[in-house]
Structure 1
């Protein structure tokens, strides 16, 4: 007597279920292998870190990732991006990519499922993506470190100070050569009288630095007339500006002047060739801080850059420049206790300087 008449059917059903499960897992493994291979191929292409999310997205979404988000700072400029479908009931894989004080990016990747093999494979893929990003950022910072070391044979800041002073002398000579009568010569003499003291002060700083006198002794913070200092820096660059508002700030003058020098040096050649273009400065006083917005026409090489790359060293590839002007402006502003960000518009670029007010600075 057969006690288990349905046993063959049960075994057949179990076998079929096992085959289906094996086929399903095999399909997941093949998909994961293809996605993993695509990510590993990206590692051989030397992609820019900020380009990697877009380049890796096809492989990630094919491997079970339904959404990617990141936000943070890239060399002082805020960045954020998202891809895929947003779902509130998914638990993300999160990680942070950080490099010194220049780069900090928070990533969130969401899998198609919160459990099971799909999430397991997606988590593995997210881990590989993280390693890919970390490797790319590490390579970029290594390249930057090597470049800065090479440039440091002569102080980077000293090079820019020398370049700005040489530009001032060049423009002064060109304007002097262009004078045609006593009236234009007198106008030039008045401009020289206003800007010469600042040029002399810069020259003394360069001499001290080149002779290694007190190079490592920073200047103490001091009270500065904001509008006057901005106008002086513009005149030193050979350009005229329109200023609305004024304030007094308390910070290191050398760092603030270096910030302004590098901002105006980028646009000065363009403004001297096109008198119809101008720079506008607006100074406002929100609670606890002072804002100075500098609006200027942007150069072609700056206009072609994504906003997040504006303060990245060597990003512009500007002919005749060191490729470090905006980077040094941002670094100098941060060291002075302020903040510098940029906004790109259709025909101009806005630099927003956030500065401590005089009372806050005195209390510190």
Structure 2
């Protein structure tokens, strides 16, 4: 038995050395993978840039060469580094408008080196795949945001057209003896229409909106908007200001009061009688709006549902847009509807 001790010591030492080497190699693999991940983050997950700049890290990882061919939304680019012959690991990605073929070339080494290289290659290919989906996700998200903006702009254009139609009808059919009153009304309506046109132009040209912290006279804007829609209104409560972008505030009031205007135009039996109550609640202003002569709402659950409208020409986006603006400002917009009673909108905005 004593004669076996030297051999056992040699075998044990060999196992320890092998285990130590494997542990060192594994740790090295992790460090090199982290280096690739940091590079990818620094490049903001941009695939073409990552492919162009990843070779130094791959070379340090023990690869002999790299070659790639990329179809990037219809543009073909390619690149290569190091030795591009011999044994290789090839991967092809074909996702929507992006096609990529990547080849990693290996040195002629023992199986354990090939195993480590294969594991590093899997990490590299995983980063490449991630970059593909990050880009496609960003493109899809941008298109979705653009489509959403287009819907809102179409609705704003429709509101503008309705305001211009009301103005044209007033000018074409002036009430005898009310010419001075008509001129005063035009002085109020035309600047409001101009403001809405500027808002749409700013949205289309990506110009920044007004300051989120700017304060606006809520009473004045309520009165101006009610007058634009020819809604007889009574505003109760102290003069107060609210903090949110003016364009968003105008959009909220346009959509709420415009809804009352359209409902009133459905029937000429009774003229609208809009009552607006303002009340301060801590850091918010609560605005309650109702038409005392309005009919009960038949579809209260659909008021804020996008793309649903009881009017054949409506887009069904106005009240949804108003609610989005209110929540974006830290407030809220709700509706109260009970049987045989007029609809009530409750708007809360930061003071």
TM-score normalized by structure 2? Answer: 0.53
- State which of 335, 338, 342 in structure 1 corresponds to 2:335: 342
- State which of 195, 203, 228 in structure 2 corresponds to 1:236: 228
- State which of 227, 241, 252 in structure 2 corresponds to 1:248: 241
Contact 2:333–2:345 (Cα < 8 Å) also in 1: yes
Cα distance in 2 for partners of 1:330, 1:152 equals 18
Alpha carbons of structure 1 residues 285 and 154: separation in structure 2 relative to 1, 3 Å: closer
Cα distance in 1 for partners of 2:330, 2:251 equals 14
- Residue 335 of structure 1 and its aligned partner are, at CA, apart by 1.1
Alpha carbons of structure 1 residues 151 and 319: separation in structure 2 relative to 1, 3 Å: farther
Larger Rg: 2
Cα distance in 2 for partners of 1:269, 1:180 equals 22
Cα distance in 1 for partners of 2:145, 2:316 equals 14
Q: Check if 1:281 corresponds to 2:272.
A: no
Q: Deviations over 1:212-260 (max 9, x none)?
A: 241xx34312111111111112223332311001311222211111111
Q: Check if 1:356 corresponds to 2:347.
A: no
Contact 2:196–2:247 (Cα < 8 Å) also in 1: no
Contact 2:272–2:293 (Cα < 8 Å) also in 1: no
Cα distance in 2 for partners of 1:270, 1:308 equals 17
Query: How big is the alpha-carbon RMSD for the aligned residues of Structure 1 and Structure 2?
Result: 2.8
- Residue 297 of structure 1 and its aligned partner are, at CA, apart by 6.2
Contact 1:267–1:298 (Cα < 8 Å) also in 2: no
In structure 2, the partner of 1:171 is 166
Q: Check if 1:296 corresponds to 2:291.
A: yes
Contact 2:189–2:228 (Cα < 8 Å) also in 1: yes
Q: Deviations over 1:166-196 (max 9, x none)?
A: 1111011112222142x22221111111222
Deviates more, 1:153-162 or 1:315-324: 153-162
Name the SS of the counterpart of 1:239 in structure 2. Answer: coil
Q: Which has the higher contact order (CA 8 A, sep 6+)?
A: 1
Contact 1:164–1:237 (Cα < 8 Å) also in 2: no
In structure 2, the partner of 1:309 is 302
Alpha carbons of structure 1 residues 342 and 270: separation in structure 2 relative to 1, 3 Å: closer
Alignment of 1:53-72 (within 5 A): none
Contact 1:342–1:352 (Cα < 8 Å) also in 2: yes
Cα distance in 1 for partners of 2:206, 2:252 equals 22
In structure 2, the partner of 1:190 is 184
Runs of 4+ in structure 1 off by over 3 angstroms are: 148-151, 269-275, 297-300
Alignment of 1:127-142 (within 5 A): none
In structure 2, the partner of 1:209 is 203
